[in-house]
Homo-oligomer: A and B are copies of this chain.
Amino acid sequence: MSQADDKTLSKSQRAYHYIKERIARQEFTPGYRLVLGSIAGELDMSVVPVREAIRQLEAEGLVTFERNVGAHVSMVDDSQYRFSMQALSVMEAAAIALAARHLSADDISRARAVNERMTAGLVDFEPHTFTALNREFHSILFAQCANPRMLELVNAEWARLGHLRYSTFTFVPGRAQESVQEHENLLLLIEAEAPLYEIEKAARHHRSATLDAFLIHEHPDEALRLLSF
């Protein structure tokens, strides 16, 4: 139950984590009506902290709120996933480029280790762990980004994607193989201290390709034109 019942947290925060988690595990599905009173009852608190929690979730875009009506879990259609993914491709690539010169040899080898575990995982493919490793790999790369604001935005967008759905790999397992290869290429570029624009280009392409794979899988007809610079 994670931190939803941590006694050191304020009740608002407990409610916040509680609702967020139930949304994450799809117990509150998109469109679900969130009734303050009921949730307060479940958590054995009054509605005031629940209201605050929902306001926070609203700010994050997880729920929509209408005055005197109530809160619903946000509707997320495929397009939102695509758009988020594309935004991430742009921001993350820039973040990785900004981080490239700050990555130590140790960072690189840690990233490579993760990528090797991903390679190993290709045989008996398990989308969930693969996705987790993928995120870890990417995190290592942009973690050293010298621009904390950008880091914040990238992390926020990753989190958002996490809420939208599990991952592309669940839907397009074939993409995993390529993905691992592109990871290694990216590492090589960074090690070679390739020009930053090359690194950014590679990183953006890597993510765009993931998105393309997803699009081709779900919407073979309406391909979204991507930036490829």
Contacts and interface: CB of A to CB of B under 8 A. Distances in A.
Given A227-B196, A229-B196, A94 B90 contact: yes
Nearest to A196: B227
Main secondary structure, interface of A, reads helix
A104 interface: no
A150 to B, nearest CB: 5
Nearest to A16: B55
A90 B150 contact: yes
B229 A84 contact: no
A153 B153 contact: yes
Contacts of A55: 12, 52, 55-56, 59
Interface residues of A, number: 34
Contacts of A200: 227, 229
Q: Which of A91, A146, A147, A148 has the most CB of B within 10 A?
A: A147
A145 to B, nearest CB: 10
A74 interface: no
A91 B154 CA distance: 11
A150 B48 CA distance: 33
Given A10-B67, A56-B55, A59-B59, A227 B94 contact: yes
Interface of A: 10, 12, 48, 51-52, 55-56, 59-60, 67, 80, 83-84, 86-87, 90-91, 94, 97-98, 146-150, 153, 196-197, 200-201, 224, 227-229
